[in-house]
Structure 1
């Protein structure tokens, strides 16, 4: 018997329908199922809304039914406990969610039979001066608050001042996150299993506008300079604002995300599909 958590995009009826089918199937095989409260209520199984009780040693697998955003939420909930995550794609890009909905039951059975590979992805450990600390799979962003005005940000790498930027913001991204906001800001695409940290400026008012690819051992500090505040967001979640002298410290977490792969399309194929690249 396995303990399985389902993370479901509650606004996608087709994902909720599949979740209900999976619950019936898995419970019929005597597996323990739990969900976050909102999707548990949406599928009519509020009795399964006890997610916190089955994370950690009691949880064998987390299944995300949604897009990459749902996958990020699942990873955030379980990665610190080393729980593997299997992503079922109901989104558009699907960089993180390689399983198609019609093959989800078979994919879970394949995992439970031990026929799978774990792909580890680095996460970023992000700390604010007020003690707030989170780990993220994609990116941490420090960006302007006031529309039409840049924010001044100083960058320190491994305890040494590097340079300052007048920009719309700075993005610290993992290789997994290299295809997210960093890419749209002109950053490089890295293979997702690489170990590196990417620093990408957003609309910088400077001649130096290139991304930096840093060693995974690097500690990056982004400091706000002057009276223009900056907002901090990680994987799409707000962490608040920083004033003059406020800092975000970024380093690689010692607890990676563990993603389940079952021989589905590789990263390069996902890139080709997402960007409409043809074979030549």
Structure 2
């Protein structure tokens, strides 16, 4: 079967749309099949187009920033399809190449001259039903402004702690440089399979906690009068009440990224330092 590239773009940035559209046309000139995400296909007049949930290909190229990558990871039907992320954002912790390098990077991938990097994801269950997977984090926060939550955290179904606060963040090592970092969490090497639990404005002093992904985490509201919001990677959102059981496990499938450059030690930390030095 012919090699197929799936193409996803940030939709609120005209520069990203232009880069993605031009890349699709360049690849097609070389005889490579390109399936663009539905809205990108419409705006770029690329023909056809697939909903992200039906975008099956040998490689997916995202054009945008980390948000575009997170959207793609959450929605594609084959969760371990390799992703080549083209950076049009500011920080780009997950991105790999700049726009001018994208066509060459696709060629290197087709020749087998790239390496693949796997990143662990979270699997989220509500009342025993698998509802979503997240690459960065799951956030539990108050559904009412200025209302604190009463929460209990379990590890392998065993009570671990109870606390009052604005909520908590359960992140992967990948997500440790995102919201969790802003909330005071540690930067964790992206090769480490661990949950990072960061407490949001707790009433008492609580340190961030790192838990092996070999274990499961459960979170329960202990005040029946309050409601919480469960948000995964800033996209998926559900309400959490006291009678709903929230469980987080390591996802069965990883996110897979195409890497062109040699693997630096502590990639997440290196990217963080780069963006700090650039003033982003």
Distance verdict in 2 for CA 1:41–1:135, change over 3 Å:
same
The Cα of 1:51 is off from its aligned counterpart by: 5.0
Of 199, 208, 212, which aligns to 1:211?
208
Secondary structure of the 2:67 match is: helix
Match of 1:16 in 2: 17
Match of 1:190 in 2: 188
Of 220, 223, 228, which aligns to 1:223?
220
What are the ranges of 5 or more consecutive residues in structure 1 without an aligned counterpart?
none
- Work out the CA distance in 2 between the residues paired with 1:54 and 1:195: 28
The Cα of 1:24 is off from its aligned counterpart by: 1.2
1:66-87 CA distance string (max 9 Å, x none)? 0100011122233744210010
Secondary structure of the 1:76 match is: helix
Where does structure 1 differ by over 3 angstroms across 4 or more consecutive aligned residues?
A: 49-54, 78-81
1:164-196 CA distance string (max 9 Å, x none)? 121111111000000011101110001112111
Match of 2:143 in 1: 145
- Work out the CA distance in 2 between the residues paired with 1:8 and 1:60: 17
Match of 2:118 in 1: 120
Distance verdict in 2 for CA 1:79–1:157, change over 3 Å:
farther
- Work out the CA distance in 2 between the residues paired with 1:85 and 1:198: 24
The Cα of 1:264 is off from its aligned counterpart by: 6.3
CA RMSD of aligned residues (A): 1.9
Match of 2:273 in 1: 272
Q: Which TM-score applies when normalising by structure 2?
A: 0.92
Of 157, 160, 168, which aligns to 1:159?
157
Contact 2:118 2:255 in 1 (8 A): yes
Q: Which TM-score applies when normalising by structure 1?
A: 0.92
